[in-house]
Structure 1
Amino acid sequence: MKQLLVVSCWLLVFSCSALAVVDIGDIGVGARSLGMGKATVGGLDDASAIFTNPAALSLNPQLNITSMSGTLLTDVNYMMFGAAETAPIGRVGIGYLNAAVSGITITQITGSGSNETVVPLGTTDYSSSVVYLSYSSALSRFLRGKGDNVLIGANLKYFLQGFSGGGATMQDAAGTGMDADLGLLWQVNNWANLGLTFNNFLPETFGGRFNWQKNNQTEGIAMVSRAGGRFNLIGPSGLKYLEKQKLDLLVEYASNNTPNWPAVWHLGAEYVPLPVLTLRAGIDQKVKATIGGIGVDNNLSLGVGLQYAGFTFDYAYHQFGEVTENTTHFFSFGFRGRDEVDREPLREPERNVPVPTVIPKPPVKSFGDVPESYWARRPIEYLATLGIMSGYPDETFKPDRPLTRGEFAALLVKAKGFLLSKDVKKLFKDVPTTNWLAPYVQLAVDRKYIQGYPDKTFQPNKKISRAEAAVVFTKFAGLQVKSKLSNDVFPGLAKGHWAAPAVSAGKVAGFYEFLADKNFEPGQDLTRAEAAEILSKTPFIKDKIRQLISGEK
């Protein structure tokens, strides 16, 4: 690898036309991705989506962190870090990549023929870094409720690359640049995702370029287009139902717009035999130089992943060409959040026995991320004190985090204080009876608060929209819903919208005071804060809060 960089130094110094920026994001995808051949455009539900397909950041609403460091190809010190979290505007993330080689010998060839001599001139260090700012959201955020199964994402990238040291020979052999990535992810159904990305898609005239200090040279950054999919063949939501295991097949086709650069394929598989264990394998095609020009290597990759309490450890074995010593071992550490955030043991609520004593008013529970001035502070604190909504282990509430359909069903059941049945039936193929949500989903469906889909799925991990939640809240509160409206209910919500009658009933009941003079945005994800606010306005919960405040409860 050092020999390659020595040649690069020589070209950089003596041939301005040879200046070439390198996007090291092609490597920096984390051990999980590398273990399955980098077939990742179909969507990864962790922070590595920053580097693979930013649209997929919306697949996991929790805090995600990923990191990797080590030595590649025996010489290159490599570091990767990424983090993503949910914000009011969608999912946001930040990523950082760095590759560096130190002690590269600078040489000069003197003489010719049999008198040709290689003369060392000194040493230099090489470094290349990329900083990512990422964003992702469902398309429905911008299309008034349409396209909630299409996710979009983008990266803004800042490049720093060059050599340091080496004296006058390497002076100004460095530069900076900017570009951007665009990602799309179509959730076709429960078992198939199709993805498309355009890496470094900005033209030079719009800022997509790299500027070298030496001779003030400017160049574009090669765009790479990727298309592919992720297919859940076996699992609770798979093409073939299997309750406790999961198998995904991943396919990706990548095309570089550099002239005469061949397209490559990436193939991978990810198998989850146990909740804590994941096995991976893949084929990662790489472009290589050959005697006849440019060819393609088929590199085998293997991987293992461990997950516990939301923390992840991933290992990958990856071949690079036919040279055995170039085989590299990758290790990544991260955090993807707990799959069952609000999990509680199945138990019957304690039965209060009246006693002839005065029960003191309980202290109201508070959270570090819900300040005094927060618009929904009171309902959040009241519902948390009543045990209806719980916080996180770090004493936060995460009010802007979207609710999933499964979490929403559990919230409604907890709010009513229903006894959980020990005889849990399998109502939906993607909610196994062993899932902690199963008894809550069963009760919510039995009470006709919420329903599943025609394909016999419930989609418990799908985020619930304001429109869907509006219909459920009216059923939960027992509101009278008109079949037809004569006027629009909210700006951005036409009277003919399928959820408009339910929204109208909720508005009359005071559920949506927090949206006064605002667009309803029916496709917007319902957040935990919004759920607390609306729930606190329902008659049943309003009475519970009254009892809490008065000291009766």
Structure 2
Amino acid sequence: MRNANLLFLIRITLYVLLICFLFFIGTASALLTSDGIDPLDMEGGSRPLAMGGAFVGLADDLYSLAYNPGGLAWTKGLALDLRDINNYSLMQSSPTGNGDAVGFIFTTKKLTGLSVGTTEVSFGTNTLSLVYGTKFSLLPILANLSFAKQTGVGISIKTILGSNYSQTGQSDLSAVGWDMDLGFLYKANEWSRLGLSLQNILPQNMLGGGIAKWSNGVNEEIPANYKLGYSAKLIGDDDALNYDYTKGLIISGQLGSSSLRTTYGLGAELGWSKKFFFRIGYGNSALNYGLGWRLEDGGIDFAYYKEAVTNQQRAEFSFVYFPGKWILVQKLEEIKKPVLILGDALQTVSIADNAETYDEKIDVSGKVKSEVEVYINGARAYVDAAKTFKTWVPLKVGKNLIVVELRAQGEKKTWDYKVLRKAKIVVAEEEKIDQQIKAAVIPEVKARLIEEKKVIEQTKEKVEVLVTLGVVEVKPKEEFVLEDRITRGELATWIVKAAGFDLPEVKKDVYVDVPKDHVLAPYIKVVSNLELLEPFPDGTFRPEAFVSKKEGEEIFRNFGIEQ
């Protein structure tokens, strides 16, 4: 029965789209169309513009109000977009508390620098849009279909509040009118989306809409437009194809067609630490780019882009606010419910924060409350009937971050655990002294050897710390000889790594025996500039020569280390 309902829904959707393509996308020949102007174009915002306008298939924030109302059900917030005093917009999206959302956009635009023949043209307009978005699962017959839960639909009613068309040598004209947009957004899986936006779809003069009524008595059809888009969250900490707690990458693409022009756009957004973003896109035959900065509940965006109508480069700033709780209507019984249902959902867990281990992997297991999903570093863990989970997480030498995330009823909560995997080395002296202790017969000799072993173990721990931090390199299964002498080149490398010095670019030979392309040249250049290791009187450095006791003691004194 579910499959039959799904097939029926798909067929109906395809029929509706086909009708829209064939009949709603008409042509127009009047003032605005001849100049390539859509009087109800409300698209903007620094983030979408920087991504080449390819936002129909993404629609993951309140800019879905303008680009694709099908994504509105998953968004909330307030935004002010500002290009200059004549070009700005204000928009807001608010969830209703019932799985849907409502919003509005108010836009002021003024296009200048246009020309018709030898005359100059300018067009200014104030527009208002009221938007509603929900999911197909709102319909009882579709409520249990996963497809319906992942598909959003939205409608936007747009009206021209006032406008002015000015052409050199002619009287100014004004126009009013209204039209409607329809949008769909399908979440194909956790990390990819497909969107469709049908803009200005009312047939001419249907219910008095679909046209711009000019003050000279002429009615002009508002050109319809349709756009198809796709997006993918390739890297990120939440619902991404590849998990990364601190970095993010989203790509998007879009195709559009109308009687005014055929458009396409490509975009990408790179994020660092969930605070800083770089965006780049290709739209209107030009390269667009922008920056973003996010705080906990808001942020600032900037875009430098090419405007489609005037073909001029523009700059825009956006100020956004994403409140933690912003619900238009909240039922009384919902207010009485606990605000956080996941507060004590993680009943037990096997790991602790700041844990240390020598193992190549770590056991992450525990127990959760009923109807809770568990994700370990972005990958879903199996929860059995007893509500327990268990998985193994591989560890690299050094610092590791393990993120345990619980999800339930649209809520998420994470626990971060830092784990240090210490490097394990084999010390040649340790095996030798174990054999000597085992063979010792005289108690005094055995006691002395045991004390020597304690010193070796303490030294081994210090070396393991250096190996863990990457200061000292030891190949797997290779014995580390504590009594081995080190070369001047090795010591230069250890000093630079331990102190965290940046490696400089070596443009000329450091010494006669250290050419600029020598593998240790950057390290030797650093210690030489700091006068930590002096060259020999003949002007050579001799990176293969062993470090003398005097040199070692001097270097330790420079670092404030007592022998």
Separation in 1 of the partners of 2:70 and 2:114?
42
Percent identity over paired residues? 21
Separation in 1 of the partners of 2:349 and 2:108?
52
Q: Could you tell me which residue of structure 1 aligns to residue 236 of structure 2?
A: 235
Matched, 1:446 2:368: yes
Matched, 1:221 2:222: yes
Separation in 2 of the partners of 1:315 and 1:463?
35
SS of the aligned residue for 1:47 comes to coil
Is the contact made by 1:179 and 1:201 (CA closer than 8 Å) also made in structure 2? Answer: yes
Gaps of 5+ in 1: 1-15, 110-117, 286-297, 343-366, 390-406, 426-432, 434-438, 467-553
Q: Which amino acid aligns with 2:210?
A: R
Report the CA distance between 1:167 and its aligned residue: 13
Compared CA separation, residues 167 and 40, structure 1 to 2 (3 A): closer
Matched, 1:254 2:267: no
Could you tell which deviates more after superposition, 30-39 or 139-148? 139-148
Is the contact made by 2:371 and 2:408 (CA closer than 8 Å) also made in structure 1? Answer: no
Compared CA separation, residues 453 and 206, structure 1 to 2 (3 A): farther
Q: Could you tell me which residue of structure 1 aligns to residue 521 of structure 2?
A: none
Question: Deviations for 1:23-45, whole angstroms, at most 9, x for unmatched residues?
Answer: 35546320111111110011232
Report the CA distance between 1:457 and its aligned residue: 3.2
Compared CA separation, residues 239 and 101, structure 1 to 2 (3 A): closer
SS of the aligned residue for 2:300 comes to strand
Which of 1 and 2 has higher RCO (CA within 8 Å, sep 6+)?
1
Q: What are the equivalent positions in structure 2 for 1:240-389 lying under 5 Å apart?
A: 240-256=242-258, 258=259, 261-285=260-284, 298-320=285-307, 326-338=312-324, 375-376=332-333, 380=335, 388-389=338-339
- Where is the strand percentage greater, Structure 1 or Structure 2? 2
Q: Which amino acid aligns with 1:314?
A: D
Separation in 2 of the partners of 1:138 and 1:107?
45
Q: Could you tell me which residue of structure 2 aligns to residue 546 of structure 1?
A: none
Q: Which amino acid aligns with 1:18?
A: A
Is the contact made by 1:69 and 1:80 (CA closer than 8 Å) also made in structure 2? Answer: yes
Q: Could you tell me which residue of structure 1 aligns to residue 107 of structure 2?
A: 97
Separation in 2 of the partners of 1:145 and 1:96?
36
Question: Deviations for 1:436-493, whole angstroms, at most 9, x for unmatched residues?
Answer: xxx9xx87x5344423599943897988389xxxxxxxxxxxxxxxxxxxxxxxxxxx
Compared CA separation, residues 452 and 184, structure 1 to 2 (3 A): farther
Is the contact made by 2:232 and 2:251 (CA closer than 8 Å) also made in structure 1? Answer: yes
Match of 2:57 among 39, 42, 45: 42
What is the CA RMSD across the aligned residues, in angstroms?
4.4
Separation in 1 of the partners of 2:255 and 2:117?
41
Q: Which amino acid aligns with 2:225?
A: V
Q: Which amino acid aligns with 1:241?
A: Y
Match of 1:55 among 70, 90, 94: 70
SS of the aligned residue for 2:48 comes to helix
Compared CA separation, residues 169 and 157, structure 1 to 2 (3 A): same
Q: Could you tell me which residue of structure 2 aligns to residue 209 of structure 1?
A: 210
Q: Which amino acid aligns with 2:61?
A: D
Is the contact made by 1:43 and 1:195 (CA closer than 8 Å) also made in structure 2? Answer: yes
Gaps of 5+ in 2: 1-27, 355-361, 382-403, 412-563
Separation in 1 of the partners of 2:228 and 2:174?
33
Is the contact made by 1:124 and 1:163 (CA closer than 8 Å) also made in structure 2? Answer: no
Compared CA separation, residues 460 and 229, structure 1 to 2 (3 A): farther
Question: Deviations for 1:385-404, whole angstroms, at most 9, x for unmatched residues?
Answer: xxx53xxxxxxxxxxxxxxx
Q: Could you tell me which residue of structure 2 aligns to residue 129 of structure 1?
A: 126
Compared CA separation, residues 368 and 244, structure 1 to 2 (3 A): closer
Is the contact made by 1:77 and 1:101 (CA closer than 8 Å) also made in structure 2? Answer: no
State the TM-score, normalized to the length of structure 1: 0.53
Compared CA separation, residues 163 and 26, structure 1 to 2 (3 A): closer
Separation in 2 of the partners of 1:408 and 1:309?
21
State the TM-score, normalized to the length of structure 2: 0.53
Q: Which amino acid aligns with 2:246?
A: K
Matched, 1:464 2:479: no
Separation in 2 of the partners of 1:465 and 1:241?
20
Matched, 1:79 2:8: no
Q: Which amino acid aligns with 1:232?
A: K
Separation in 1 of the partners of 2:79 and 2:58?
15
Q: Could you tell me which residue of structure 2 aligns to residue 409 of structure 1?
A: 342
Q: What are the equivalent positions in structure 2 for 1:385-534 lying under 5 Å apart?
A: 388-389=338-339, 408-410=341-343, 413=345, 423=352, 446-451=368-373, 456-457=379-380, 464=409
Report the CA distance between 1:86 and its aligned residue: 0.9
Separation in 2 of the partners of 1:450 and 1:267?
37
Report the CA distance between 1:67 and its aligned residue: 1.2
